[in-house]
Amino acid sequence: MKNKIVVALDVSTFDQAKKLIDELTGHVGVFKVGKQLFTRLGPTIVEYIKKQGGQVFLDLKFHDIPNTVRGACHAAGDLDVDFLTIHTMGGFEMMRAARQGVIDSGNEKTKVLGVTILTSINQDVLREDLNLKVPLGEQVLHLAKLAQMAGIQGVVASPKEITLIREHTEKDFLIVTPGIRPTWYQKDDQKRTMTPKDAIEAGADYIVIGRPITMAHEPKQAAMDVAKEGK
């Protein structure tokens, strides 16, 4: 179970990240490097995680014209990250270009994942703010199927849509699920959440957890508790 846990390193400094990486290595499978940390530290933090033997989830959510995304994904492949993210709302050609960028790098290990609908977005936000009138689940499934057609290896999706995606995509299509909240953690700003156990049973390949582990008094113990709960 521990290899399915992706810890979000949503911290500001190298020292903060290093402390978490050192403590959690061996107790989680993957470390997620997002915009905040990568903007501050760049490839340095990726290189440190790899040096410690960890896997890297580079969560920069590329969303641009196809040629620009292709170049960015080529660069991520050169960094030897294990996973990288793009926005599926960029469309089919952009997603196909993202996959080609990784191929151009010669690093077939790097997997491209498409972000469908952010877990902070619910049906009201989708309809009123984004002016999308379709049901949220229908939009997520459409984007997931489009991503699969474009040749990328999986999606990032709310736990509430795991079963729907799993039923309509290939067995090896990866589902990475944020919005995971252990039973012992109070809910916060994410609207579509699920426990580790329920997410894994629904078919998630990886679960992303940030604050319940990184802000715990004892992060290693919290990671062990999540792994135990997810079995």
Cα–Cα distance list, 211 to 102, 203, 222, 224, 228 (Å): 30, 23, 10, 14, 17
Confirm whether 61 is a catalytic residue: yes
Distance CA 170, CA 32 (A): 25
Convert 106-137 to b/e letters by CB count within 10 Å (16 or more is b): ebeebbbbbbbbbbebebeebeeeeebeeebb
Q: Of 210, 190, 208, whose CA–CA distance to 121 is shortest?
A: 190
3-state DSSP call for residue 203?
coil
| Residues counted in the chain | 231
Distance CA 115, CA 87 (A): 5
Instruction: Determine which one of 18, 19, 50, 61 is catalytic.
Output: 61
DSSP 89: G
Ordered DSSP codes for 119-155: TT--HHHHHHTS---S-HHHHHHHHHHHHHHHT--EE
Distance CA 192, CA 154 (A): 19
Catalytic residues: 61
